[in-house]
Structure 1
Amino acid sequence: MYIGENIRYLRIKHGYSQEELAKALGYKSYTTITKWESGVSEPTLKMTNQIATFFKVSVNELCYTRMGFELSNSPKYRQGVVINVLGRVAAGIPINAVEEIIDTEEITEEMARTGEFFGLQIHGDSMEPKISDGDVVIVRQQDDAESGEIVIALVNGDEATCKRLKKYADGIMLISNNPKYEPMVFTEKEIVEKPVKIIGRVVELRAKF
């Protein structure tokens, strides 16, 4: 069956986020939609009928027709590689933990071949004006980066933060774009003891509209 793939196709085609579709179908959490689209689980027969009615397709089409297949060569609908968008990243929680997934994004196959990627929704205004609250950044998983690059870092076991990295001979500085936030400075000793851990480099911005 193609039900998970078709739910995702119809959701994107009609402009719904996973959270919006979940609410429309009577769910409090988007994680159910995530599980359907990723193939972890399937909707009940009753819910399958509800989804088909919602998108104005037949149950047979929803389950057994690979929707969008005929459009696979169209630039508008060409499928890239799907990555998960996380609402947060925190110490002790695996990247792509289902409970943290809020949506999905697509990256090109060319990009996907260069490493492992995830999306992260930005919270707060520390990286404004370039990156705003609610924007999604595409992150390549890596434990180091060059000075001047924007990284996602875990500091002292807290949630991940998005900052520009600046390296020095005896430590690093994590800098906000927004001048009202003071830079975070760490010595080599503090990097180990707190700890400060880089988990990825921002490679692309998907701004909200």
Structure 2
Amino acid sequence: MLYFFNTDIYTLIFGFNYNENSKSNILTVYNQLTDIRKHKVYSYAQQQLDEQNSNLNEKSSIYVVGTSAAGEPIEYGDFDSEMIQTDVPAKADKAIHIKGDSMEPKIASNSIIFYHEQPTLEIGEIGIFEINGSAVTCKKYYVDYESKKIILKSINPKYEPMYFARDQVRILGKVVF
């Protein structure tokens, strides 16, 4: 196939063949830039290197703020937040323990999931929800615009959707993986 298209594996996969000539080409272009543009290229390259190196960090710290149901909402209860060291998704603000199997197979019972604090969700996104100011659950978010109800759905088909008035539900955040 490579012969047929008169290309090499690097060009086929990446769109270009990065080799010693590429380094020379980059330097040729760089040397033709004004000093201000050279500074921008350097800043961008440094930012890319920093990002690459930060992705190599094995563990990050994040607060586990409580327990959320993956089933019927559970009361907040007493829970002292704890700091854990683990692999944390880039947009995660907090973590929460999941209790229940309603979000399986995507989210297992007794797992820790991460969420980004935000007050809104897109239809179908998985979120953490406060119900009636005292209970928490993890579900997929839907809205029935005719009845003006919020519908929280499980992934596990053995669970029925839950319907709430808008003032009964507060979105705590979007689950991030």
TM-score normalised by the chain length of structure 2: 0.56
Q: Say if 2:152 is the partner of 1:179.
A: no
What residue ranges of structure 2 are gaps of 5+ in the alignment? 1-52, 69-73
Q: Say if 2:120 is the partner of 1:135.
A: no
Compute the displacement of 1:122 (Å). Answer: 0.8
Q: Say if 2:175 is the partner of 1:191.
A: no
What amino acid sits opposite 1:141 in the alignment? E
- Give CA-to-partner distance per residue, 1:70-119, whole Å, 9 cap, x none: xxx6976x2665211234268888xxx981326343436xx35xxx6101
Q: Say if 2:59 is the partner of 1:86.
A: no
- Give CA-to-partner distance per residue, 1:118-167, whole Å, 9 cap, x none: 01111011111221111121100011100010000011233311000012
Count matched residues: 118
Does the Cα contact within 8 Å between 2:76 and 2:136 map onto a contact in 1? no
* Other-structure match for 1:105: 86
Does the Cα contact within 8 Å between 2:152 and 2:163 map onto a contact in 1? yes
Does the Cα contact within 8 Å between 1:91 and 1:154 map onto a contact in 2? no
Distance, in Å, in 1 between the alignment partners of 2:87 and 2:127 is: 20
Counterpart of 1:164 (choices 128, 136, 140) is: 140
- Which of these two proteins has the greater Rg computed from alpha carbons? 2
Distance 1:75 1:179, change over 3 A: closer
Secondary structure of the 2:135 match is: coil
* Other-structure match for 1:201: 174
Does the Cα contact within 8 Å between 2:102 and 2:154 map onto a contact in 1? yes
Does the Cα contact within 8 Å between 2:61 and 2:83 map onto a contact in 1? no
